């Protein structure tokens, strides 16, 4: 995998270069000192993956991510000195299409690199993801009830945070519907993503607790690196199986469990994302009478996941993100 490095600090660039050089079948394609240079380099020589810093002169990493995904889309991993200290910019970048974020490894006085384990793991995961698709564009209150509420389930990956925000913001706050979202995101960022979504949408967005039952008015987000599943008792649980599915949490695993165990047909949505996760699960839900929606190409940061669902015949409708809230509300009887 060819990897571009974007960082204005020489020591950070060298640490990242050494990490990449240590990995079999990976090589540094180029380095850029700021967002402006990164955009130009990506257009001239599009790599498989860009390691994107956030705080740089001339243009920050979030804006560079936005422009790269518009003009030369490829996998982008935010690598910044402190993820927790730059969390707002991290979620801005993820909203524009970055896949994940990790702290920058340190270059020691003797030339050794420390703190590279998380970066190596994420590069390995993205390498599998990139291999799954050659073209990344294609590639507050509750309403208590004695009966289960209607259910809206959403799956997303690359570019998902902003799409989820745009989807949730116009939805009613008080209705007999629960919304459960599976977004490909590391466990470390799930609570922050829930808060970010809540702040942007005005809805109370919470991370799913193991054993929780979706109730009317809930907006719930999968919150661990294990798969989220619906059980036959209509509770949400985290499970490690199936271990061979490297998308974690998997949209397919969640959707298929909902198809098996939720008693009422609802609405299921596959949003922007890289890979094919969600297509099989969406098809199973459609076969059980659910109304299924895939995001259109024009409003997707990466079209691979919706396209896979569309190509499989799993989507009843293909809609722009701004059309979805009205359609979902109508389908849910609002």
Taking only the tens place, the pLDDT of each residue in 40-63 is 999 999 999 999 999 999 999 999
CA angle 194, 289, 161 (to 5 degrees): 20
pLDDT of residue 143: 41
> pLDDT over 70 for what percent of the chain?
95
pLDDT confidence tier of residue 314, bands split at 50, 70 and 90? very high
> Mean per-residue pLDDT for 304-329?
97
Residues of the chain with CATH 3.40.50.180: 150-331
The single residue of 60, 103, 184, 250 carrying the catalytic annotation is 184
226 catalytically annotated: no
From CA 295, how far away is CA 317, in angstroms rounded?
Answer: 9
227 catalytically annotated: no
184 catalytically annotated: yes
The single residue of 60, 277, 291, 296 carrying the catalytic annotation is 277
Has residue 69 got a pLDDT over 70? Answer: yes
Taking only the tens place, the pLDDT of each residue in 125-151 is 888 877 644 344 333 334 444 478 999
pLDDT of residue 145: 43
From CA 33, how far away is CA 49, in angstroms rounded?
Answer: 16
Residues of the chain with CATH 3.40.50.2300: 2-131
> Mean per-residue pLDDT for 58-73?
93
pLDDT of residue 334: 60
> Mean per-residue pLDDT for 15-25?
92
Taking only the tens place, the pLDDT of each residue in 112-129 is 899 999 999 999 988 887
> pLDDT over 90 for what percent of the chain?
77
**Domain 150-331 sits in which CATH superfamily?**
Methylesterase CheB, C-terminal domain (3.40.50.180)
From CA 97, how far away is CA 39, in angstroms rounded?
Answer: 14
Has residue 262 got a pLDDT over 90? Answer: yes
Taking only the tens place, the pLDDT of each residue in 85-119 is 889 899 999 999 999 999 999 988 777 899 999 99
The answer to whether 98 touches 68, Cβ cutoff 8 Å, is no
Taking only the tens place, the pLDDT of each residue in 206-255 is 999 999 999 999 999 999 889 999 999 999 999 999 988 878 899 999 99
Taking only the tens place, the pLDDT of each residue in 174-205 is 889 999 999 988 888 889 999 999 989 999 99
DSSP 144-173: --SSPPEEEEEEE-TTHHHHHHHHHTTS-S
pLDDT of residue 131: 67
Q: Closest Cα to residue 179, out of 258, 105, 250, 239?
A: 258
pLDDT of residue 130: 74
pLDDT of residue 147: 74
Q: What strands, in cross-sheet order, belong to the sheet with 291-295? A: 205-207, 219-221, 177-183, 150-156, 267-270, 291-295, 317-319
pLDDT of residue 137: 38
Residue range 2-131, CATH number: 3.40.50.2300
The single residue of 60, 157, 227, 300 carrying the catalytic annotation is 157
């Amino acid at each position: 995998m060819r990897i571009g490095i974007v960082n204005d600090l020489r020591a950070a660039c060298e640490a990242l270069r050494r990490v990449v050089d240590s990995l079999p079948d990976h090589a540094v394609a180029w380095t850029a000192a700021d967002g402006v240079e990164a955009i130009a380099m990506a257009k001239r020589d599009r790599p498989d993956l860009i390691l994107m810093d956030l705080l740089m002169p001339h243009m920050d990493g979030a804006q560079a991510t936005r422009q790269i995904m518009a003009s030369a889309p490829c996998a982008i991993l935010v690598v910044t000195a402190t993820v927790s200290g730059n969390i707002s910019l991290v979620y801005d970048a993820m909203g524009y299409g970055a896949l994940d974020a990790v702290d920058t490894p340190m270059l020691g006085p003797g030339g050794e690199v420390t703190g590279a384990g998380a970066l190596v793991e994420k590069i390995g995961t993205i390498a599998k993801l990139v291999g799954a698709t050659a073209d990344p564009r294609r590639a507050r209150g509750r309403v208590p009830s004695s009966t289960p509420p209607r259910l809206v389930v959403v799956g997303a990956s690359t570019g998902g945070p902003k799409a989820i925000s745009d989807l949730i913001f116009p939805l009613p706050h008080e209705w007999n519907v629960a919304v459960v979202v599976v977004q490909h995101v590391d466990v470390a960022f799930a609570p922050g993503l829930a808060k970010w979504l809540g702040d942007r949408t005005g809805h109370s967005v919470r991370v799913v607790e193991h054993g929780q039952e979706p109730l009317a008015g809930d907006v719930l987000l999968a919150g661990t690196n294990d798969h989220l599943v619906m059980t036959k008792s209509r509770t949400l649980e985290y499970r490690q199986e199936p271990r061979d599915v490297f998308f974690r949490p998997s949209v397919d695993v969640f959707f298929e469990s909902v198809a098996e165990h939720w008693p009422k047909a609802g609405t299921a949505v596959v949003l922007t994302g890289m890979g094919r996760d969600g297509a099989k699960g969406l098809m199973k839900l459609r076969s059980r009478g659910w109304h299924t929606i895939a995001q259109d190409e024009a409003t997707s940061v990466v079209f691979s996941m919706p396209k896979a669902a569309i190509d499989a015949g799993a989507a009843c409708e293909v809609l722009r993100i701004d059309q979805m809230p009205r359609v979902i509300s109508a389908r849910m009887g609002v």
